[in-house]
Structures are given as structure tokens and as C-alpha cells.
């Protein structure tokens, strides 16, 4: 089985589905002959040509609006937004058009498309190339949100996303695009949306994370294990719909929970997870649920490593919940 990084796994998924389904087209800024700013679409133009691998102007509302039209008329577009920070000019198209077609038509029309975009910091990109805007879209009914943390999941989840009849926002962790490597099947496989994964079993505390923060959670769990603390790490993988059953099973087992996300703390997705857990499992909790998050500031340039959660901050939260 070949070893791939996340970029290679994403490319493999796109290539697999484009070969299997002639309705699949990709479009975005510089994604054609150039292969995209991160090279995720490298080689696709040569194989599938300009009718299916389409370079667009730098106009995100136009990219998404065009893709919506394609989807409504029978194609299955996969637009790329070059950085997650650039998605905001297309916010109206996504929230008020794309996500509502099935509902507003009484189920008569679907709008099958996958929006791919890299998110998160860690590449010294500053405040316009480092944001994690997942909470804005999780709050949008009619839109599925997926956030893989490793190459195997990235390919399987992307293939499953491209076969949905509902729109999916597929958020890729750019910090570990090439750093995360693992075995990935060359052939076709899917991972079901809405199903979390336990990446490390433990008994004292549940760590919940997604995307680029899963590797931080796993590093913190290893450090905690060196101190004799058994930590369970749960990778959500899909943020909407999220796997509440898996979360509750883990938290009821450990009695304690720490949530790690890179986005700002206030109104981040961690707050919804805390509410969901406490509404259903408060009698099982031995301590308050803690969050380790980004700060309530614009994403900084020179101080990004002060802003982003790290393993030491997570270990401190683990100790705090154990000592409560």
C-alpha cells in the first residue's frame, strides 16, 4: 500500500472519482495547468483537459455561483477556494443559495457539490491565510462540514463527500498537508460521513479534536501518558453532522473532557459540543469540560505559535480537569 501525504491523498480521491464519473469537474484559481497553490490538482489538467479542470478568475462568489449552476444542471462540481480565508466573498452564495436548495424546493432539487479549502495556521500566513471558519458553516442548515486529520481519512472522506447529493464543505488542514503521512489504498474506498474515530484509547480524560488539532491532541496524550495519565483521543472527522454517540460513549467512560480547536474560543464549535455533552451526560461528568483554543483576536503573524493550541497547553488542561 503506498504512503501518501494529505495533498497526495486528496489528489488521488479527485482522480479516482473523475475517472469513475464524467460529471465531476473541478474549478478554482490556478488549479489547472499550475496544479493549485498547494499542488492538490497537479496532473489533473493533463489527464482530463480544460473542460473538466477549469481555471477561474479570482472571484470566489463567481466560483461558487458557477458551481451551483453546474450542480443544478446535472454536473457534480468540486470547486476549490484557495485559502479558507477567501471564502467570505462567497458566503452569501453558500449560506443563502447552496445550502437551501433542497429545502426551498421541497426536496425536488439537490445541489451536489464539494467545496474544498485549506484552513488553519502554522505556515506563517498571517491573518488572511490562517483562519479556521468552521463554526460559521456548521451553523448553516443544509450544509455538511468535513475536516480530516490524516491522508487515509482525507481520501475516504473526500470520495464519500463527492458522492453525496447534498453540498459538502471539505476543510483541509494546510499545516500538515505534507507533514502527515500514512498508508492510503490506491483504489476506491469510502469513509462514512458523521462517524468519528478513536485514535487512541484511554480511561481518565477524553480529548476531542479535529483537523490539524488531532496531531496536537495525540502529542498531548503521549506526554500525559508519560506522567501516568490515560487519555482517550477522539477525532470527529465530520463536524456536521457530528458523531454524538461516539462522544457520549467516550465521555461517559472517562468522566472528563477537554476540547481542542484552533478557531477563536468565543462561539467556537467547542461550545456546541460542551452543550451537547452536558445536556445528555452531565451525571457522568466528574469535572467541568475545558477548552483549549485559539484566542479571541485576529490571527497574528509573528505570534502565531502563541495563538495556536500546543501540546503543553492541552496537558495543562488535562491536569486541571483531573485536579478539579
Catalytic residues: 129
DSSP β-bridge partners for residue 259: 208, 291
For residues 265 and 261, give the distance between their C-alpha atoms in angstroms, rounded to a whole number.
8
Q: How many helical (H) and strand (E) elements, i.e. helices and strands, does the chain have?
A: 12, 14
Q: 245 — alpha (psi -120 to 50), left (phi > 0) or beta?
A: alpha
Count CB-CB contacts under 10 A for residue 51.
Answer: 7
Q: 279 — alpha (psi -120 to 50), left (phi > 0) or beta?
A: alpha
Residue 182 main-chain phi, psi, to 5 deg: -175, 170
DSSP β-bridge partners for residue 152: none
Got the DSSP string for 183-201?
Answer: E--SS-----TT--EEEE-
Is the CB of residue 134 less than 8 Å from the CB of residue 173?
A: no
Determine the angle formed by the axes of helices 6-20 and 151-162, rounding to 10 degrees: 30
Is the CB of residue 144 less than 8 Å from the CB of residue 179?
A: no
Helix (H), strand (E) at residue 262: strand 257-264
Amino acid at each position: 500500500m503506498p504512503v501518501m501525504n494529505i495533498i497526495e491523498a486528496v489528489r488521488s480521491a479527485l482522480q479516482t472519482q473523475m475517472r469513475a464519473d464524467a460529471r465531476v469537474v473541478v474549478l478554482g484559481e490556478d488549479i489547472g495547468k499550475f496544479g493549485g497553490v498547494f499542488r492538490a490538482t497537479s496532473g489533473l489538467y493533463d489527464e482530463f483537459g480544460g473542460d473538466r479542470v477549469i481555471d477561474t478568475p479570482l472571484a470566489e462568489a463567481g466560483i461558487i455561483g458557477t458551481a451551483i449552476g453546474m450542480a443544478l444542471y446535472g454536473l457534480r462540481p468540486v470547486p476549490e477556494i484557495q485559502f479558507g480565508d477567501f471564502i467570505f466573498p462567497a458566503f452569501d452564495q453558500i449560506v443563502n443559495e447552496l445550502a437551501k436548495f433542497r429545502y426551498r424546493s421541497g426536496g425536488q432539487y439537490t445541489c451536489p457539490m464539494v467545496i474544498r479549502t485549506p484552513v488553519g495556521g502554522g505556515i506563517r500566513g498571517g491573518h488572511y491565510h490562517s483562519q479556521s471558519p468552521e463554526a460559521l458553516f456548521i451553523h448553516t442548515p443544509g450544509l455538511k462540514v468535513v475536516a480530516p486529520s490524516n491522508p487515509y481519512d482525507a481520501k475516504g472522506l473526500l470520495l464519500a463527500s463527492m458522492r453525496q447529493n447534498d453540498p459538502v464543505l471539505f476543510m483541509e488542514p494546510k499545516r500538515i498537508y505534507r507533514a502527515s503521512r500514512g498508508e492510503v489504498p490506491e483504489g476506491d474506498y469510502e469513509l462514512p460521513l458523521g462517524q468519528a474515530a478513536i485514535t487512541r484509547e484511554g480511561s481518565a480524560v477524553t480529548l476531542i479534536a479535529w483537523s490539524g488539532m488531532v496531531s496536537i491532541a495525540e502529542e498531548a496524550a503521549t506526554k500525559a501518558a508519560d506522567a501516568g495519565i490515560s487519555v482517550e483521543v477522539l477525532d470527529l472527522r465530520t463536524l456536521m453532522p457530528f458523531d454524538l454517540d461516539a462522544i457520549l460513549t467516550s465521555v461517559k467512560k472517562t468522566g472528563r473532557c477537554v476540547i481542542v480547536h484552533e478557531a477563536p474560543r468565543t462561539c467556537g464549535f467547542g461550545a456546541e459540543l460542551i452543550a451537547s455533552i452536558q445536556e445528555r451526560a452531565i451525571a457522568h461528568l466528574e469535572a467541568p469540560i475545558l477548552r483549549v483554543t485559539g484566542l479571541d483576536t485576529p490571527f497574528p503573524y509573528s505570534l502565531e505559535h502563541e495563538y495556536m493550541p500546543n501540546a503543553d497547553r492541552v496537558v495543562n488542561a488535562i491536569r486541571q480537569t483531573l485536579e478539579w
